[in-house]
Amino acid sequence: MSRTLFELPALRTDGILCHNNTLDTIEALIPNAPYNSCHAADLLETKDGDLLCVWFAGSSEGYADISIVGSRLKAGENQWSAPVKLSDDPIRSEQNPSLFQHPNGDIWLMYTAQVARTDETPEGYSLQFTAEIRRKISHDQGYTWGLTETMFHRPGSFCRQKIQILSSGRWIFSNWYCFEDKTRNGSDITVFHLSDDQGQTWRTVELPGSEGRVHANIVEKDPGHLVAIMRSRFADRIWIAESDDDGDHWTVPFRTELRNNNASISAVKLPSGAIGLIYNDVAFSDEPGGPVALWPDQRCPVTFAISEDGGHTWPYRRIIESGEGFCGYWNDINNRRYEYPVMMVAHDGVIHAAWSWGSRLQVKYVAVTENWIRGQRTEHGIDNDQTHFCLR
């Protein structure tokens, strides 16, 4: 019996969008040259309809040449731009950027800056306890950026997720504190910075029982009802806490059914009102606590999930990145690392996602729909007119 072989378009490395015929997705590898490593991407849709992607890049995480860089995909175009360096500290490692659109139209770039590693720094010794959180502001939709400011001075302050504006008008910014001890960040605790005057002043609320539960993604399920979805330093499961008063008070975190490998996750509210999540569907422990954090190398596959009950159950899941396809206890290490995914919902309901691809060689960008995650296919998959993409 003869078979017909169909040639699929290769994923290019120059930022040009392509259509994945197998998965029916829009994809691109965002350029990272001349940098050797890239990590911790974030996405924002500007008021002009452009997409901005920021990440940290340089030789290797934690060193002084690590800086925040950014790329743009202009509305109606089909190629991400070459990266532009955005941060400017020559002696600190600048990491974990996030983008926030102020109601006045400005864009805030938030990121961490920690004392840089040297070749004499012991392997596995984290300097995150030295970090502070900084800000740069753009008045022209991300084309140029103002001076660097330190927003949160407390040593050990770390961020990953965006500032969010709640339905009440309150701003909430989830962070965590890192400490100088021997737990390898297992003692990190989650805090929420709250502002009721559009970021002019902030007060801090600590999440009870949050040791080792960090990277809190805030989803406002209903007005005043917040869900915080977190990674686990102990590589067991994703954890959730809830607030019924706009973040003033929180429950102690509880463990979900979703696996976690002590890697970052991202959650948003979807057009349907459900919670969407993107994460690595892999775990390495059933123990909920430390004292020492686990740092497995395995960060693959990347998976979307949907919950319709506030994060208690996740009946819809779909793999978006399977890496090299290895699975099983002894050979999943053969996959390269596909990690730190982020997702956002654009004004037209399209879901945009990005993650560190191929062991931090480039940032991979993907566009899908909620129906795609659920398996409810439309006649033509993603409508190119809907997403404003013109593919070559």
What's the mean per-residue pLDDT of the chain? Answer: 93
Q: How confident is the model at residue 330 (pLDDT cuts 50, 70, 90)?
A: confident
Work out how many domains the chain is built from and give that number.
1
pLDDT digits (tens, 9 = 90+) for 67-95: 999 999 999 999 999 999 999 899 999 99
Residue 53 lies in a domain: yes
In DSSP terms, 230 is beta-bridged to: 239
Residue 178 lies in a domain: yes
Residue 11 lies in a domain: no
> What is the pTM for the complete model shown?
0.94
Residue 114 lies in a domain: yes
Residue 3 lies in a domain: no
Residue 13 lies in a domain: no
Residue 77 lies in a domain: yes
Predicted confidence (pLDDT) at residue 386 exceeds the cutoff of 80 = no
Burial class (CB in 10 A: 0-12, 13-18, 19+), 269: middle
Q: Alpha helix locations (H) across the chain?
A: 370-374, 384-387
DSSP 146-170: ---EEEE-STTEEE-SPPEE-TTS-
Residue 5 lies in a domain: no
Query: Could you tell me what percentage of the chain is helix, strand and coil, using 3-state DSSP and rounding each to the nearest 5?
Result: 5, 40, 55
Q: How confident is the model at residue 2 (pLDDT cuts 50, 70, 90)?
A: very low
Which range has the worst mean pLDDT, 96-100, 166-170, 329-333? Answer: 329-333
Question: What distances in angstroms separate CA 172 from CA 116, 151, 219, one per listed residue?
Answer: 29, 14, 11
Predicted confidence (pLDDT) at residue 385 exceeds the cutoff of 50 = no
* CATH code of the domain in which 53 resides: 2.120.10.10
Tokens found for residue 214:
């960090």
Domain, as residue range, for 270: 19-387
DSSP 33-50: TT-SEEEEEEEEE-TTS-
Mean pLDDT over 4-23 rounds to 78
